Amino acid sequence: MLSIEKAQEVIVSELEKLEIPQEPRNLYEPVRYILSNGGKRFRPALVLLGCDLFGGDYLKAVYPALGIEVFHNFTLLHDDLMDNSTVRRNRPTVHIKWDPNTAILSGDVMSILASSLINKVDAGILGPVSSLFNKTAIEVCEGQMLDMEYALCENVSISEYINMIRLKTSVLIAASLGVGALIAGAAEKESESLYNFGLHLGIAFQLQDDLLDSFGDQNVFGKKIGNDIITNKRTFLLIRAFEKASGHELMELQKYFSGEEFDAREKIDSVLAVFNKLDIRKETETKINEHHQNALKYLEAINVPVERKEVLMRFSAELMKREK
């Protein structure tokens, strides 16, 4: 049975072998740069684990897994550009190290490379695998657009926000597992349960990312703490704070999210003070746990020996304890 660590080792090894053209240098060097930028590689590892769960040959899932990882890093590259983030995993983002136009073009070529890798599956499952990937890629773009729109909205509900992160983040985690299940030839019902496991795990993961952006350790998290606050992102924490706030706390939130310019440190410290006053951290942790438990229910429903599920159970538990 494939372990998380072994799956990650396979992905890291195969990424190093990935043939990326040399010229034009300024087009492909950013691609190599962001792919060498570390990370746990858990999305492509989930492709292999999803295949292995149903007794499939995980080596047949390597190319699609690499496609998932290239696509994920493409979304990070463009996401950093749209958010004007300067640091990713403690290194300058692509648009800072090069320039915005280079980041756009390098991201574009990464999306095409990802599709090419996804399509390297047996002909008999090419249609379903390609269909799932394309659907997921479109949903990720939809989620990113909603994310940008919500930054300009005063009234975003928790349900709207959860739907946005489902699209922007969790569908790719779910699709990683789903692609693995398709390669293994799993039954439709079992594949759906595994997909839904990934969907709820992905929502929990993004909520935790939101939490770490406000309350994490920058040296561990790898990104500047408070970037969501600076960029006026409507996260679970901020939406819930606006719902709960009254009096002075509400005035503070309205002040710092009015569209006016403020010193970044002042804004972060003041908004975090409101979060602490309203116990927003605890509420976010409760919501994370709710989706984690829902994920486990779907995993338990899959009709394979329980010992084959232990790897994904352990993975989900470790994901919930992460600090970066």
- CB neighbours (10 Å) of residue 177? 28
280 by DSSP, 3-state: which?
helix
**Which stretch of 52-61, 218-227, 266-275 has the lowest confidence by average pLDDT?**
218-227
Cα torsion 310, 313, 318, 324 to 10°: value is 130
**171-184 and 123-150 are packed helices; what angle lies between their axes, rounded to 10 degrees?**
170
pLDDT score for 5 = 95
pLDDT score for 218 = 62
pLDDT band at 219 (very low <50, low <70, confident <90, very high): low
AA identity, residue 189? K
By C-alpha distance, which of 222, 213, 221, 140 is closest to 176? Answer: 140
Residue found under tokens 């070529």:
109
317 by DSSP, 3-state: which?
helix
pLDDT score for 221 = 52
pLDDT band at 324 (very low <50, low <70, confident <90, very high): low
pLDDT score for 169 = 94
On the question of pLDDT at 240 being above 80, the answer is: yes
pLDDT band at 83 (very low <50, low <70, confident <90, very high): confident
Per residue in 124-178, pLDDT (tens digit) is 999 999 999 999 999 999 999 998 888 788 789 999 999 999 999 999 999 999 9
Number of domains in the chain: 1
Per residue in 1-17, pLDDT (tens digit) is 899 999 999 999 999 99
Q: How far apart are CA 231 and CA 175, in angstroms?
A: 29
pLDDT score for 233 = 86
pLDDT band at 323 (very low <50, low <70, confident <90, very high): low
Structural domain including 36 reads: 4-320
On the question of pLDDT at 79 being above 60, the answer is: yes
Q: What average pLDDT does the segment 112-119 reach?
A: 97
37 by DSSP, 3-state: which?
coil
pLDDT score for 222 = 55
Per residue in 9-42, pLDDT (tens digit) is 999 999 999 999 999 999 999 999 999 988 889 9
pLDDT score for 259 = 80
Q: Is the peptide bond before 64 cis (omega within 30 degrees of 0)?
A: no
Per residue in 62-71, pLDDT (tens digit) is 999 999 999 9
Q: What is the CATH number of the domain that holds 67?
A: 1.10.600.10
Token pair for residue 178? 């789903």
Per residue in 45-63, pLDDT (tens digit) is 999 999 999 999 999 999 9
- CB neighbours (10 Å) of residue 90? 15
CB distance 134 to 172 below 8 Å: no
Per the prediction, the chain carries an average pLDDT of 94
